[in-house]
A and B are shown apart, each in its own frame.
Chain A
Amino acid sequence: MLKTFKIGGVHPPENKLSKDRKIEVLSIPSAVFIPVAQHIGAPATPVVKKGDKVKVGQIIAQSSSFVSTNIHSSVSGTVKKIDFSADSSGYPKQGIFIDVESDEWMEDIDRSETLVSEISLDGAEIVRKIQDSGIVGLGGATFPTHVKLVPPKGMKAEVLLINGVECEPYLTSDHRLMLEKADEIMVGIQLLMKAMNVDKAVIGIENNKPDAIELLSEKCKSVAGISVVALKVQYPQGGEKQLINAVTGREVPSGALPIAVGAVVSNVGTAFAVYEAVQKNKPLFERVVTITGKGVSQPSNFLVRIGTATSELVEAAGGLPENTGKIISGGPMMGRAISSLDVPVTKGTSGILLMKQEESKREEIIACIRCSRCVSVCPMGLEPFLLMTLGEKQIFDRAEKEKVMDCIECGSCSYTCPSNRPLLDYIRFGKGKVGQIIRSRKK
């Protein structure tokens, strides 16, 4: 029996169209737009001005508080302007526009392909390096990694979980990274273990990636303390709380952080970025992005410089299909629909999904027949039908009692509803309002 989380879950069609496509390096665009807020927490403060010359890997925006991180230039060239433009949220965000000239890297970055497996820094130095290199959770949540590595007072990390689940349909960037950069990821995991001072790490991989499971299991044989667990193909297996539950059997209490059960979760992409930062002195300025969709002529995985416009990726994958109806940054279950191809790739962009016209419209909403499928698929044990009504009727005190804040917004309820009801839309609304109420109560 494969391990999995205990409550709920769905299994949407996997559609991993690009899983056999090797990671290709996307050619450097002629200009980039690098937002200063690519992570959860305070936006970074720009430290360059119009006309400045920058190199690849140079800090262009400085972390402004503990829960924040640095932003580095992904290209070399001239700062054109510091201005606002829409990111994947659709809202205009501050960022740095750079016109590209050649490809000149900071001198201290090790650009060789040689694997550096010897770890010379101590835990605190590793954390420092991670913080300086602008590393955030690359699974999509973009929480600054250095914050996670320092447990709050009185708590202790026991195990590091590495998320190689990639439960979102279509996306294959983590899968390809595990296949092509397995050695680097293993070193990255050891670095994270040292930084956290734990002697145990578990890599969780969904069972639809047998090649990655086999390869990493093989690598684990020569490293003490790291093991691979094959997980059932069940969405949202890669949800932080679900992964912890599947691997350790523990449940993160309502409202608490994973550290409450002694776990810290990091994505495989993050582990790779940690390797590059610590061993190669290379800050986070590029990442692997899947470009995919049923109408896309060449679904692919590209290594992309942060700040590259979505349109560049689309061109490289064979151009925008005629009947494209929706463009999603991320996967189909939790990704964001973007309104323009100018939206840049940021640290949290795991994929770009182009959906056909006929796939992009929602079906007609009809009455709830109280079939309770939303209840049975909710991985948090909530009652989505009730939370939707409470959101719709704006009964926020009851919504709080019914644990609306526990919702992880995985979308399993809306996905499964046979009456096509917009459950998650209203739950999000309720969650937002309840969050406001809770914050105002604390003041």
Chain B
Amino acid sequence: MSKLLTVSPSPHVHSSDSTQKIMYRVIYAMIPALAWSVFMFGVDALRVTLIAVAACVAFEYLIQKYLMKVTPSVTDGSAIITGILLAFNVPSSLPWWIILIGALASMGIGKLSFGGLGSNIFNPALVGRVFLLLSFPVQMTSWPGIKLASVDAVSAATPLALIKESVKNGVPISKIQGLPDLTDMALGMNAGSLGEVSAFLLVLGGIYMIWKKVITWHIPVSILATVLVFSGIFWMINPEMYVNPVYHIMAGGLMLGAVFMATDMVTSPMNPKAQIIYGIGIGLITINIRMFGAYPEGISFAILIMNAVTPLLNYYIKPKRFGGQ
């Protein structure tokens, strides 16, 4: 025979799926929440997102090409996700140069110093976010004012910050002025980082990702269930000092974290049992920080801490083996 045949081991067919497609599905899932933030916070939200995405992609390209001297892999879409998630985690009023620093921390420290896509231990967007939170606490917690539907006031503090401050000063929760109600919180009529405000649209993105098999239910559900149960116990003990569990779920970055940050494939465990333990850990740490810590918000730290535990979970928690004891 004149023609050469390809000889390779089985399997000889491959599913039509690719890493790039998975990444783009994550991006599609974030679009509703992004659109809402533009509606809420105006062009500023778009500005922050575009700068963050452009910076993440550019930093990845430059570092890979000139520092690591490898073929840049920016087309896989993962840098775009990091950019959007970083933007989702900052106030829409953040100056451009702080965003650049955040993007550099995300890509340089969070991702590429570990070797790039797939090798990083910590969620890159959260590394950037926490880096900024510790370096620029003022800018990172100055929220642009918005008009609330439920109370006739302009608020510039996040609901969680408001609660934390009031409880510290001995004001019972029912007496706090300017606290948005649950409907506002679910829809996203409250102050906060630009992507975290609408719990409803974030859940929508999560359902899309579960439907498209990008993620499974284990991580988000175990986080939310843990938060409900754990904060519910405290709420039942004293509802004036501890806000009700549903409020916890709607408030702050919890939904964003549970749906988009904790489910980051690279930094989360790789089998359902370990994923549930990971989710429970995130839920517990989050509520602990929210109730007893110095910060009003705790999901970022909780996820980073559990990211660090992930290799251990992968090592000790094994999937159910076929025919095992």
Contact = CB atoms under 8 A, between A and B. Distances in A.
Given A252-B323, A337-B8, A370-B270, A169 B13 contact: yes
Contacts of B119: 367
Interface stretch (B16-24, B143-151, B241-249): B16-24
Interface string B313-325: 0100011111111
Contacts of A337: 5-10, 12
A382 interface: yes
Contacts of A403: 321, 324
B320 A7 contact: yes
Given A337-B6, A369-B266, A418-B22, A381 B324 contact: yes
A326 B6 contact: yes
Interface in A323-364: 324-328, 330, 332-341, 353, 355, 359-363
Contact of B3 (A254, A324, A336, A367): A324
Contact of A385 (B270, B318, B324): B270
B6 to A, nearest CB: 4
A411 B10 contact: yes
Contacts of A326: 5-8, 12
B14 interface: yes
Interface of A: 6-7, 10, 12-13, 90, 169, 241, 245, 251-254, 256, 324-328, 330, 332-341, 353, 355, 359-363, 366-372, 375-376, 378-383, 385-386, 403, 406, 409, 411-412, 414-420, 424-425, 428
A372 B1 contact: no
Contacts of B7: 90, 326, 337-339
B6 A360 contact: yes
Given A369-B78, A370-B266, A428-B9, 11 more contacts: A254-B322, A326-B5, A332-B13, A340-B5, A360-B5, A363-B14, A366-B19, A369-B266, A411-B11, A412-B11, A416-B17
26 contacts: A90-B7, A169-B13, A253-B323, A324-B3, A325-B6, A333-B11, A333-B13, A336-B10, A337-B7, A337-B10, A337-B12, A339-B5, A360-B6, A367-B73, A367-B117, A367-B119, A369-B19, A369-B266, A370-B118, A371-B22, A372-B265, A375-B270, A414-B14, A415-B11, A418-B15, A428-B9
Contacts of B325: 253
B321 A406 contact: yes
Interface of B: 1, 3, 5-15, 17-19, 21-22, 73, 76, 78, 116-119, 216, 265-268, 270-271, 314, 318-325
A10 B15 contact: yes
A369 B271 contact: no
A366 B13 contact: no
Contacts of B9: 337, 424-425, 428
A366 B76 contact: yes
Nearest to A250: B323
Contacts of A13: 13
B11 A369 contact: no
Contacts of B12: 326, 328, 332-333, 335, 337, 353, 355, 359-360
Nearest to A342: B1
Contacts of A415: 11, 13-15
A411 to B, nearest CB: 3
Given A328-B12, A366-B73, A418 B21 contact: yes
B285 to A, nearest CB: 22
User: Chain B at the A interface: mostly helix, strand, loop or mixed?
Assistant: loop
Contacts of A376: 216, 271
A416 B323 contact: no
Contacts of A7: 319-320, 322
A381 B14 contact: no
B14 A362 contact: yes
A418 B19 contact: yes
Contact of B265 (A363, A370, A411): A370
B320 A381 contact: yes
A333 B9 CA distance: 10
A340 B265 contact: no
B10 to A, nearest CB: 5
Contacts of A380: 321-323
Contacts of A90: 7
B11 A414 contact: yes
Nearest to A380: B322
Contacts of B76: 366
Contacts of B8: 326, 337, 362
A372 B11 contact: no
A412 B265 CA distance: 20
Nearest to A425: B9
A366 B116 CA distance: 11
Contacts of B266: 369-370
A196 B107 CA distance: 65
A420 B76 CA distance: 13
Contacts of A416: 15, 17
Contact of A383 (B10, B19, B267, B270): B270
A161 B302 CA distance: 51
A190 to B, nearest CB: 30
Contacts of B21: 418
A360 B323 CA distance: 35
Given A367-B117, A372-B271, A256 B19 contact: no
Contacts of A241: 322-323
Q: Which 4 A-B pairs have the closest CB atoms?
A: A411-B11, A372-B270, A367-B118, A381-B321
B323 A379 contact: no
A355 B153 CA distance: 68
Given A337-B7, A362-B8, A369-B266, A381 B17 contact: no
A169 B14 CA distance: 12
A369 B117 contact: yes
A359 to B, nearest CB: 8
Contacts of A6: 322
A406 B5 contact: no
Contacts of A414: 11, 14
